[in-house]
Structure 1
């Protein structure tokens, strides 16, 4: 049976391309809780600070809009596993989850008591890994024999990497949805992929796992890409605007490669 989920939300924000103006960053920074703002201050790189701040804004936006709670009344806390939840844990009207990696922060949300998990990965070889075979050897225990067949049957290395990360995202999304935590062995779940490719702009629903073989199928929405104006269109100030937020942000290198270049340059002097 296929049915439409009511209140399904899928949002994506490309923080990699976001080059915030001073006014934008200050608006975003003052629209989150104090402890969230302080946590974002501690990131070493601008890219990570942007990803985290966007994630908090996405969470507040979906809660405020879908539950009709004033922005200033939304109080987020974390579980022992680090999962963000509403402070009122008795409120099960909405389930939400976020992830960020590469250039994107993404959010998935469902209305009702169901749980939802999401993950995103950029299909690129990790830094410090000489060859794909070495990388796969390190990750051997995270996948079942069937899943390795799915990965390695692709003739091209980039296609193998895409299949690897596709399965990784499936496993991580499941773990996040059920709230198991990082101690769960990824090899304990096995996913079967029937559509070898995921066309851009389409949702694939024929993937199955040993845990969800009998699950009811849902028709899911495509991801909506939000711009900054949409991200903050319902935001309200929770904190005073402080120039230190902007100074802290601009003093960070964009990413590790920028930091390495600047460090190498200083050593040459």
Structure 2
């Protein structure tokens, strides 16, 4: 089973019929959570992330999207319940205008998408390894923000693949870029990594415990997601 990465751009506004259908296909817990959000964009990201996950995984195991149930490990990493083919691998992330889902294969998977915003680069000294901090400081000033988010998303994707959350310190391993522009980690040599910009304002990274990753994500539209639920 090949690994796929899918990305969905979150619209500023959804037609009421679409939103009602999406809400009807997620868990009761998700619906309650969506109702508590102050900003509609947060509700969209939360619900659409689960809908994309349900639609994609239902194609892998032959069950209806609404028939899937999920569990989480003690660090919060989601998985399908035993009755829903627990060996199906997936991971989901959302930030800003995008939702990203990685799925397939037999190895642990992680994905992270982040909206790129100006930050104080001193944060790198708190969370990055010495190797990464030195690499970031040596980058041209105009490239430092992009490099920071590449490092951050790569590290997050690995932590999510391992499934230990922030109980694994971010500075306990390093991400290194080789001469060909590919990323790897000496402490996680068996893992494959992918880093790319989704657009000018968002960065995506993915991680697989040994299996090859696709070079590019598949872009899913809201219309495709809606039609898949009818």
TM-score, reference length from structure 2: 0.83
**Count, aligned residues:** 212
> 2 CA distance for matches of 1:183 and 1:219?
26
- The alpha-carbon distance between structure 1 residues 139 and 192, as it changes in their structure 2 partners (threshold 3 A), is closer
Unaligned runs of 5+ in 2: 192-209
What secondary structure, in the 3-state scheme, does the structure 2 residue paired with 1:222 have?
Answer: coil
Of 162-171 and 219-228, the range deviating more from structure 2: 219-228
**Considering only CA atoms, is the larger Rg found in Structure 1 or Structure 2?**
1
> Is residue 2:194 matched to residue 1:218?
no
- The alpha-carbon distance between structure 1 residues 41 and 80, as it changes in their structure 2 partners (threshold 3 A), is farther
> Is residue 2:169 matched to residue 1:175?
no
Are the aligned partners of 2:108 and 2:162 in contact in 1 as well (CA < 8 Å)? yes
Unaligned runs of 5+ in 1: 1-5, 127-134, 198-205, 237-269
| 2:51 corresponds to | 57
Equivalent positions of 1:199-238 (< 5 A) are 206-215=182-191, 218-235=212-229
What secondary structure, in the 3-state scheme, does the structure 1 residue paired with 2:53 have?
Answer: helix
Shift in Å at residue 196 of structure 1?
A: 8.2
> 1 CA distance for matches of 2:83 and 2:163?
14
Equivalent positions of 1:134-153 (< 5 A) are 135-153=120-138
> 2 CA distance for matches of 1:30 and 1:196?
46
- Which of structures 1 and 2 has the larger relative contact order (alpha carbons within 8 angstroms, sep 6+)? 1
- The alpha-carbon distance between structure 1 residues 39 and 193, as it changes in their structure 2 partners (threshold 3 A), is same
Are the aligned partners of 1:61 and 1:71 in contact in 2 as well (CA < 8 Å)? yes
> 2 CA distance for matches of 1:27 and 1:90?
22
Higher strand share: 2
Indicate which of 161, 176, 182 corresponds to 1:192. Answer: 176
When the two chains are superposed, the root-mean-square deviation of aligned CA atoms in Å is 2.1
- The alpha-carbon distance between structure 1 residues 54 and 182, as it changes in their structure 2 partners (threshold 3 A), is same
Indicate which of 67, 72, 79 corresponds to 2:73. Answer: 79
What secondary structure, in the 3-state scheme, does the structure 1 residue paired with 2:166 have?
Answer: coil
What secondary structure, in the 3-state scheme, does the structure 2 residue paired with 1:211 have?
Answer: helix
- The alpha-carbon distance between structure 1 residues 183 and 89, as it changes in their structure 2 partners (threshold 3 A), is farther
> Is residue 2:8 matched to residue 1:7?
no
Report Cα offsets for 1:54-84 as digits up to 9, x if no partner.
1101110111011111223211233332222
Are the aligned partners of 2:6 and 2:219 in contact in 1 as well (CA < 8 Å)? yes
